[in-house]
C-alpha cells in the first residue's frame, strides 16, 4: 500500500489530464491511494487544496485540455514572494513547511509533472528527502534527455492549422504574414509547424537572423510570381546583434520574463524595408489549449503509467523519458541541466533548407 501525491506545475500543456488519468488508474490497480495537490504545491500548505483522486474522478479526462488540478508558474516554494506588514515584497523559503507536511500527510512519493522550472523545484525537494518522480511537460519541447515532451505535438498541430489558414488570406492580399509562435529558448514549434505549414521563412532562437536575408527571400518569391510570403517566428528569436523582445518586467513570483512582440517587430522591419503590405499574428496561448492529439494522449498516458512503475522500482529523483520510442528513467538533474535546442545539423533543418525555407542566415 502506497500513498502517492501528484501535482501539475508551470504553464499548462495538452496531455496533463491524461497523465493524471494514467497515474490514478495504475495506482488504483495496485491498491495505492492517489492525492492531487491543487495549483502546484498549494495542497502541501492547505489541506483543502489536497484532493483524493479515485478512478471515478478522472473519467474521460484523458481527452480534456488543461489540468483538473490547476497549475501556476509563480509557485516556487524556495523563493516565494510575500508582502510584509509595510506592504514590501519579501522572498521567503517555505520548502521546510512543505517537506514537513509531505511527511505528516504520510506520502510515499510525489509525481511532479512539469517543465524545466517545476522539475528543478522537484529535484530540490528530492535532495531534501522527498521521493520524487518527474514527468516531462512543455509545449516548447525543450527538456533534455527525452525525445519529446507531451503537449508539443498538439501545439505544433494547432500552429500548422493556423498557418494553413493564414496562407489563403496572405495570398488574397499579396501580403507578408508574420506568425509568432511559442518557444522561449528553442524553436521546435516554429520549425515543425513552419516546415509542415509551408512557411517561407522560419526564425528560431538558435539562429540569430539577418533581416536583409529575410527580405531577400520575400523578394525571391515575388520574382517567381509568388506575391505573398509566410514568416514563422518563435517568441524567443532575435536579430543578429539584437536582443530578445519581452513585455517588460516579469510578474511577481515568476522567474522568467514574459516574451512577446517579436512578430510585430519583424513585420514592421519588413514593412520599412520593402514597402510591402505586412501583418503579424500572435498564436499565443491557443497553442496550449484544447484536447491533446492522439500522439500526445498516448505519450502522456505512457508517461503516467511508467511513472507509477518507477515508484514500484524505487527509481526516485528521476524523470520518465521517451528515448528511441521507449519509456526510460533519466536523472532529473540531467534533464534540467540546460535547454534542449534545435540541432542545426538535424535532418529537419536540412529538410527545411532543401525545400527552400530561409532561416534568416
Applying CB under 6 A, the residues found at the interface with ligand F6P are 11, 73, 115, 138-140, 182-184, 235, 259, 288
Of 4, 51, 41, 8, give the one whose Cα is nearest residue 26: 4
Written as nine digits, the cell of 322 is: 521517451
Nearest distance, CB of residue 117 and ligand F6P, angstroms: 8
> Does residue 231 come out as left (phi exceeding 0), alpha (psi in the -120 to 50 range) or beta?
beta
State which residue, 40 or 183, has the beta carbon closest to ligand F6P. Answer: 183
Grid cell at residue 271:
514593412
What contacts 323, CB < 8 A, 6 or more positions away? 145, 146, 147, 330
Q: What are phi and psi of 205, to 5 degrees?
A: -60, -25
- Count of residues in the chain: 361
Residue with smaller CB distance to ligand F6P, 182 or 300: 182
**CB-wise, 185 or 200, nearer to ligand F6P?**
185
Residue with smaller CB distance to ligand F6P, 190 or 201: 190
What are the angstrom distances between the C-alpha of 226 and each of 163, 175, 275? 17, 10, 16
Helix/strand/coil for 349:
helix
Host H or E run for residue 333? helix 332-335
> Which residue number is nearest to ligand F6P in terms of Cβ?
182
Smallest separation (angstroms) from ligand F6P to the CB of 140: 5
Q: How far is the CB of 257 from ligand F6P (least distance, A)?
A: 9
Q: Is 142 a catalytic residue?
A: no
Give min distance, CB of 288 to ligand F6P, in A. 6
**CB-based contact 290:66 (threshold 8 Å):** no
Minimum CB distance to ligand F6P smaller for 184 or for 302 = 184
Q: Could you tell me the smallest distance in angstroms from the CB atom of residue 68 to ligand F6P?
A: 18
Do 41 and 13 contact (CB within 8 A), yes or no? no
Closest CA to 36 of 128, 96, 105, 131: 105
Please pick, among 46, 48, 57, 140, the residue that the annotation labels catalytic.
140
> How do strand 176-181 and strand 229-234 relate by DSSP bridges?
parallel
Please identify every residue annotated as catalytic.
Answer: 140
Amino acid at each position: 500500500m502506497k500513498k502517492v501525491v501528484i501535482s501539475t506545475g508551470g504553464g499548462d500543456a495538452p496531455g496533463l489530464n491524461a497523465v493524471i488519468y494514467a497515474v490514478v488508474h495504475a495506482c488504483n490497480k495496485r491498491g495505492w491511494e492517489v492525492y492531487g495537490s491543487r495549483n502546484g504545491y498549494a495542497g502541501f500548505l492547505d489541506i483543502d487544496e489536497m484532493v483524493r483522486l479515485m478512478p471515478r474522478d478522472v473519467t474521460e479526462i484523458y481527452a480534456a485540455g488543461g489540468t483538473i488540478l490547476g497549475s501556476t508558474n509563480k509557485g516556487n516554494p524556495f523563493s516565494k514572494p510575500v508582502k510584509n506588514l509595510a506592504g514590501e515584497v519579501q522572498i521567503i523559503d517555505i520548502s521546510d513547511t512543505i517537506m514537513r507536511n509531505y511527511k505528516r500527510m504520510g506520502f510515499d512519493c510525489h509525481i511532479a509533472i512539469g517543465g524545466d522550472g517545476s522539475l528543478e523545484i522537484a529535484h530540490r525537494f528530492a535532495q531534501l528527502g522527498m521521493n520524487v518522480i518527474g514527468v516531462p511537460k512543455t509545449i516548447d519541447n525543450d527538456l533534455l534527455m527525452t525525445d519529446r515532451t507531451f503537449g508539443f505535438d498538439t501545439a505544433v498541430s494547432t500552429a500548422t492549422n493556423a498557418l494553413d489558414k493564414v496562407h489563403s488570406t496572405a495570398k488574397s492580399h499579396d501580403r507578408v504574414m508574420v506568425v509568432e509562435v511559442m518557444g522561449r529558448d528553442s524553436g521546435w514549434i516554429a520549425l515543425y509547424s513552419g516546415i509542415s505549414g509551408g512557411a517561407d521563412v522560419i526564425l528560431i532562437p538558435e539562429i540569430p537572423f539577418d533581416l536583409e536575408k529575410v527580405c531577400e527571400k520575400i523578394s525571391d518569391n515575388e520574382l517567381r510570381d509568388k506575391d505573398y510570403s509566410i514568416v514563422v517566428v518563435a517568441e524567443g528569436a532575435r536579430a543578429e546583434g539584437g536582443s530578445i523582445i519581452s513585455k517588460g518586467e516579469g510578474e511577481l513570483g515568476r522567474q522568467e520574463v514574459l516574451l512577446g512582440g517579436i512578430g510585430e517587430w519583424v513585420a514592421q522591419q519588413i514593412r520599412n524595408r520593402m514597402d510591402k503590405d505586412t501583418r503579424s499574428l500572435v498564436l499565443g496561448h491557443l497553442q496550449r489549449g484544447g484536447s491533446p492529439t492522439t500522439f500526445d494522449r498516448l505519450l502522456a498516458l505512457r508517461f503516467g503509467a511508467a511513472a507509477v512503475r518507477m515508484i514500484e522500482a524505487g527509481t526516485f529523483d528521476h524523470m520518465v523519458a521517451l528515448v528511441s520510442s521507449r519509456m526510460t528513467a533519466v536523472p532529473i538533474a540531467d534533464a534540467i541541466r540546460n535547454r534542449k535546442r534545435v540541432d542545426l545539423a538535424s535532418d529537419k533543418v536540412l529538410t527545411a533548407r532543401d525545400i527552400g525555407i530561409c532561416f534568416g542566415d
